[in-house]
A and B are shown apart, each in its own frame.
Chain A
Amino acid sequence: MYRRDRPLLLRSCPAALYNNLCVLPLPASGLAQFALVHGSNCELLSAVPSGLPLSQRLLHAKEGAGLNLPLITQAYWCVLPFRVLLVLTSQRGIQIYESDGSVMVYWHALDSSDAPPAQALFARGIAASGHYICVGTWSGRVLVFDVPAKGPNIMLSEELNEHRVPVTDIAAEPAQGQDCVADVVTADDSGLLCVWKSGPEFKLLTRISGFGIPCPSVQLWQGSVAAGFGDGQIRIFEASSGALHVQINAHARSISALDLAPEAGKLLSGAEDSFVHIWKLSRNPDSGCIEVEHCHAECVTDTLVCGARFCDPKGSSFAVTGYDLSEILRYSCV
């Protein structure tokens, strides 16, 4: 059972975008950093469990040409082997900061030359695998950046051209060391999922076709892909084969965020129907298939949930953001 803790007050309300909350647990016990986006701003704050914010910072998407301030689409902390970087995606491009947002170390402008006139330009979907950062774009192209252990010398190393419509989300999982283990999954507006093995050259392992329903959020856990869809369903696939193992009629509106607590195999889903659910994933010892059990339902009254994340790898606490809601709601196990 989870109980609501003291909320964290925000300076601005989160925008109604997919995955609009990122949590970075800090080494000090119980301390965590939160990032969310609102218009052309990204708000960062760190807080202790009592709910008192320790520091707050606003970042702006001011890079790039044009007078209109670009809207930020997502903020995400990429945990790399030797460093943690904060990545912001916007209508203009990709900004990469030191994890506290103090210094911008890299800027990549979106290429608009081949865009049709009625196309909205943006980057969206961020994940880190090894020393690579993957970022999705409006065209479906996924940009892969090679990040050095320190310094600003970040290089665009590869472009993945498997998606034809805007990328929605990307997830990664540390590889288990074997060959050909899926460690990155990319999702798009048509619901197509592509499963990759990361490396100096990314290798496409599986394509799981969609049904024209967007896949706003995706997660990877022990070789399984958990995907949340616009029709409120969660589907869990075997990453290597693309076989469907579980289908959950989970929400009555579009899912806006999924998160995984890897140590406990818990899955968190938040949706526009104002509900947040927690699921327990496990592998059936006999068949090897993934099975799911419903653990907890939480109604965030009158809130269009736009972000939901676990605050620790065991999944004993989680945080939720909502459109027009000027606080981060926090829940913890009792």
Chain B
Amino acid sequence: MSVRTLPLLFLNLGGEMLYILDQRLRAQNIPADKARKDEWTEVDRKRVMNDITSTMFNKKFLGELFKPQELYSKKALRTVYDRLAHASIMRLNQGSMDKLYDLMTMAFKYQVLLCPRPKDVLLVTFNHLDAIKDFIRDSPLIVKQVDETFQKLIEVYGCLSAGEFQLIRQTLLIFFQDMHIRVSIFLKDKVQNSNGRFVLPTSGPVPWGTDVPGLIRMFNNKGEEVKRVEFKYGGNYVSAKSEGSFDLYGDRGLTLGTNMYSMSQPVETHVSEAPKNLPLNTSKASPAPNPLAKEELNFLARLMGGMEIKKTSGPEPGFRLNLFTTDEEEEHAALTRPEELSYQVINIQAAQDQQRNEELSRIMGEFEVHDQPPQNTSKGDDLLAMMDEL
């Protein structure tokens, strides 16, 4: 559908990823003078945030991203985030990466669904970018990268019509279709139901430019109003206060897309599958064996060719970050994950035989960093004990 969807999808999911990582890294921080070599410190956190952000906003990469194109599969996109999450010294295993990706996607699905007007998905994106700029505010070069992306967004999306934004929203909702993963922070805030579907409020302000429902006005042939009738519409809406700012700086006027993992709250990122009585059609949705593989691989190669990843091999061990309470839990989650939800990079490996794309082989080579070095006295281990309930 809309060929303008990918940049918004990528930036917002990326923003959610940074929120979660920042929160998790802060929770594991040890003051630098007390930290052992394998423990996370504030310096490490900043380094991870900076590395991932500068990779995410790499000029060449964004150039590819902003080219008009269709959305590819969830698997293909997941591969991009796997790589992005490993753009620094931090290492995530399959279980934590799955959980991270689930949290990111459900958060953005919620934001798209609740967006007052289709156009406001741009404000949600700006909220993410505003927060990212704050994360990396000590690195003027990266701030400049983010600002350039801001300009590009304003340039490309500023002139789109309401109809085009509605098409973008419909495309995003098709992408997120059938994802009903329950997230504890949403369940606790009562914005998600136990069946995994989100709560749609029937009160509060209406979108900017919309009148509060409840009035019928009738006109005669001369255009004069001849009758006004009120009716009970069943909701409890109020007028919109103001429109959010679509400029580089300003009040976005909505909280969707801001950081909901604030430090004051205990870490609450538990995810669980929706009850099984719901027909989960993820697997049925793709009847064909996947004729896309080649097209998709080309897309990934192009996109990730633009990502400049600093090699972290060498004497420095990659720091591990676990999104579960214990390692056992993490392993268990990876094992018990329903088939249709596991995103292994199998179809990437299939291309290794073909050897048709040098660039891709290089990328895949780097993917092997996944299989951690065995001398794994990871920084994560001791810190796990300190982590609150996840």
Interfacial residues, chain A to chain B (CB-CB below 8 A): 9-13, 15-17, 38-39, 60, 67-69, 71, 73, 91, 117-120, 122, 165-166, 168, 188-190, 212-214, 216, 230-233, 238, 241, 243-254, 273-275, 277, 287-294, 297-299, 301-304, 323-324, 326
Q: Cβ of A39: which chain B residues have Cβ within 8 Å of it?
A: 174, 177, 285
B267 interfacial by beta-carbon distance below 8 Å: no
Most chain B CB within 10 A, of A9, A253, A288, A304, is at A253
Known: A212-B161, A213-B162, A231-B210. A117 touches B68 (CB 8 A): yes
- Of the candidates A188, A216, A249, the one having the most CB atoms from chain B within 10 angstroms of its own CB is A249
CA distance A67 to B296 in the complex (A): 10
Other than the given A120-B1, A231-B209, 12 more pairs (CB < 8 A) read A15-B173, A16-B169, A213-B162, A213-B209, A230-B117, A231-B211, A251-B213, A253-B207, A273-B200, A274-B202, A275-B213, A324-B197
A246–B216 CB distance below 8 A: yes
With A249-B214, A254-B166 as contacts: A275 and B223 at CB distance below 8 Å: no
Q: Which residues from chain B contact A253 at a C-beta distance below 8 Å?
A: 116, 207, 210
- Is residue B43 contacting chain A, with contact meaning CB distance below 8 A? no
Q: Which residues of A contact B211 (CB under 8 A)?
A: 231-233, 249
Residues of A within 8 A of B291 (CB): 67, 69
Instruction: Sample 13 A-B pairs with CB under 8 A, ordered by A number.
Output: A118-B3, A118-B4, A189-B166, A243-B221, A246-B216, A251-B213, A252-B210, A287-B220, A292-B216, A297-B232, A304-B200, A323-B173, A326-B278
**Given A11, A122, A287, which contacts B284 in the complex, CB threshold below 8 Å?**
A11
Closest A residue to B112 using CB positions: A16
> Which residues, 229 to 246 on B, are CB-close (under 8 Å) to A?
229, 231-235, 237
- Does B193 sit within 8 A of A, measured CB to CB? yes
A323 / chain B contacts, CB cutoff of 8 Å: 113, 173, 177
Q: Which residues of A contact B169 (CB under 8 A)?
A: 16
User: Please, what's the 1-or-0 string for B212-225, where 1 marks a CB less than 8 Å from any CB in chain A?
Assistant: 11111111110100
B279 within 8 A of A: yes
Q: Is B294 an interface residue (CB 8 A)?
A: yes
Identify A249's interface contact among B193, B215, B220, CB under 8 A: B215
Given contacts A232-B211, A273-B200, contact A289 B1 (CB under 8 A): no
**A-B contacts, CB under 8 A, total:** 191
